[in-house]
Amino acid sequence: MNSSGVTESPHHRRKTFWDGVDASIDGMLQTENAEVISEVDTAEILNYLPDFKGQNALDLGAGIGRFTTELAKVAQHVTAVDISQSFLDQNQNNNKKFTNITYICKDVVQLDFPPGSFHFVFSSWILKYLTDEEVSQFISRVLSWLAPGGHFFFRESCFQSIGTVNQPGNPTIFRSLLYYSELLRSQNFRLLRAKNVQSYLQFQSAPNQVCFLAQRKDNDKVNDVHEMLRDRYSPQNIAIMEKIFASPWIYTGGEDTAKELFGNLQLRPAQRVLDVGCGTGNSAFFISRSYRAHVHGVDISVAAINLAIERQMALDKDLRKMVNFEIGDILEMNYEEGFFDIIYSRECFVYIANKPLLFSKLYRWLRPGGTVFFTDFLKGTSPPPSSFLDYLETIKPCFPMTFDSYKQALESEGFQNVITIDSGEEWMKILRNDLKIFESTREKFGSDVAFHDQMCDITAKKLEWIREKQLTLGIFRATK
């Protein structure tokens, strides 16, 4: 509602706001130190994009042309769209040398393109200016504009405002990472990756700047591991597990076990750690807080990473900078060769069938002399009982290995000094303590008591399987 008492449309609010903003890098980014951030941010974002060489690209929220320029260097044709004519005029002036750019001054909700017009759609801070209904309709239209297999990249400010200049009348809506991810899924997109934008962490301690890369899904093929982990680590189940464990640590043994494991790693300040299957971020937070090391956490679970970034925002500014998180399948990730000093994981490799591909990637990402350190569930030496096989059915697909097969897989990819430790006896002590904690929290559960009782039952069965040598927990360490 304006000062005259007239209710303004969302389009009118957006148009009025952006027509009043200076067509400059400061105005476009709406942040302090915009010039400094822009250079680093541009390189980071370009590195996250798919290959669009020779393709038709749509640049939404193109502004003064920060990315229009880079897209036009590679794409066959770029359609640059912005709601502000003054921004587009500056964009056109900055890119006079290019003949493969078309400029359109429109609100994105007013756009209409034929189906399959683009191979790549690029969007900068558009969705936070749209209503929920407009966001849903817009993503549906992006899907129709994309050719089969086409990609959609967008970046948004999530959760709340951090590091931005609060200009009067800025009509932004801050949503969660989970909101956008679930909306993509419902609109037949496959979310490939999403992460904190590192440049905003570096310069502003702002974890809420998040970029997403999705692909139009043109078949009904389902990744069983992704679906299983999405369901197991739903927001509701994470909340229940934290209540059962009476802690944000939903790993066996909690923080005490983490302290013991990390104590063997000889972590040092400024080292770079890759946390595979980082969950809600507790290990990453612990490492950064205790050792001042930098941690990149990656996990398939959208809900877990959503919660990790939300909690990252509550840390002090220095600690926020030392951690960043990414949604994605580790087998589909590509990091710089020799970038990490340590790669760490807790009980997640069991869900990965292609161990050779996994270990070849980990080996490539480690610096020479770097360490891979992980724990995992293993087959014991005794034949498994029917109860154990039934349990595996409930968590499938999973691919438990033996000590020998793990050792062989590591050595085959070039790892040396492979150390294996059977931690079954120690695991039994930890599980007994976990079971006491679970039983003490039962009265808090109400309608969720069935989930609680199931956790208690499985924990009791694991104790039995370990005692009978049908299951164990392995600790592995190797160097490059």
pLDDT for 344-396, tens place per residue?
Answer: 999 899 989 999 999 999 999 999 999 999 999 998 888 888 888 888 777 77
Reply yes or no: is the peptide bond before residue 115 cis, omega within 30 of 0: no
Question: Domains along the chain?
Answer: 10-216 (3.40.50.150), 224-479 (3.40.50.150)
If you write DSSP's letter for every residue of 61-122 in order, what string do you get? Answer: T-TTSTTHHHHHHHSSEEEEEES-HHHHHHHHHHTTT-SSEEEEES-GGG----TT-EEEEE
pLDDT for 93-146, tens place per residue?
Answer: 999 999 999 999 999 999 999 999 999 999 999 999 999 999 999 999 999 999
Per-residue pLDDT, 130 = 94
Q: What is the mean pLDDT of residues 310-327?
A: 95
Three-state DSSP state, 185: helix
Asked if 363 and 480 touch (Cβ cutoff 8 Å), the reply is yes
What are the φ/ψ torsions at residue 213 (nearest 5 degrees)?
A: -125, 120
Asked if 150 and 216 touch (Cβ cutoff 8 Å), the reply is yes
What are the φ/ψ torsions at residue 122 (nearest 5 degrees)?
A: -120, 130
pLDDT for 137-181, tens place per residue?
Answer: 999 999 999 999 999 999 999 998 765 656 666 778 999 999 999
- Phi-psi category of residue 176: left, alpha or beta, with phi > 0 → left and psi -120 to 50 → alpha: beta
Question: CA 267, 272, 277, 279 torsion: positive or negative?
Answer: positive
Residue-level length of the chain = 480
Strand boundaries in 321-469, DSSP class E: 323-327, 340-346, 366-379, 416-422
Per-residue pLDDT, 1 = 45
Asked if 204 and 163 touch (Cβ cutoff 8 Å), the reply is yes
What are the φ/ψ torsions at residue 451 (nearest 5 degrees)?
A: -65, -45
Radius of gyration over every alpha carbon of the chain, rounded to an integer in angstroms: 25
Neighbouring CB atoms inside 10 A of 354's CB total 11
Please state, in angstroms and as integers, the Cα–Cα distance from residue 94 to each residue in 68, 78, 133, 157, 352, following that order.
10, 14, 34, 26, 48
pTM of the model: 0.91
Helix ranges (H only) for 246-374 are 254-263, 282-291, 302-312, 317-321, 355-365
Neighbouring CB atoms inside 10 A of 443's CB total 9
Above pLDDT 90, what percent of the chain? 62
Per-residue pLDDT, 6 = 45
Asked if 285 and 313 touch (Cβ cutoff 8 Å), the reply is no
Per-residue pLDDT, 400 = 87
Q: Which residue, among 336, 214, 201, has the nearest Cα to 274 in the 3D structure?
A: 336
- Dist. CA 393–CA 330, nearest whole Å: 23
Residues 6+ apart with CB under 8 A from 138: 108, 109, 126, 127, 130
- Dist. CA 452–CA 445, nearest whole Å: 7
pLDDT for 70-83, tens place per residue?
Answer: 999 999 999 999 99
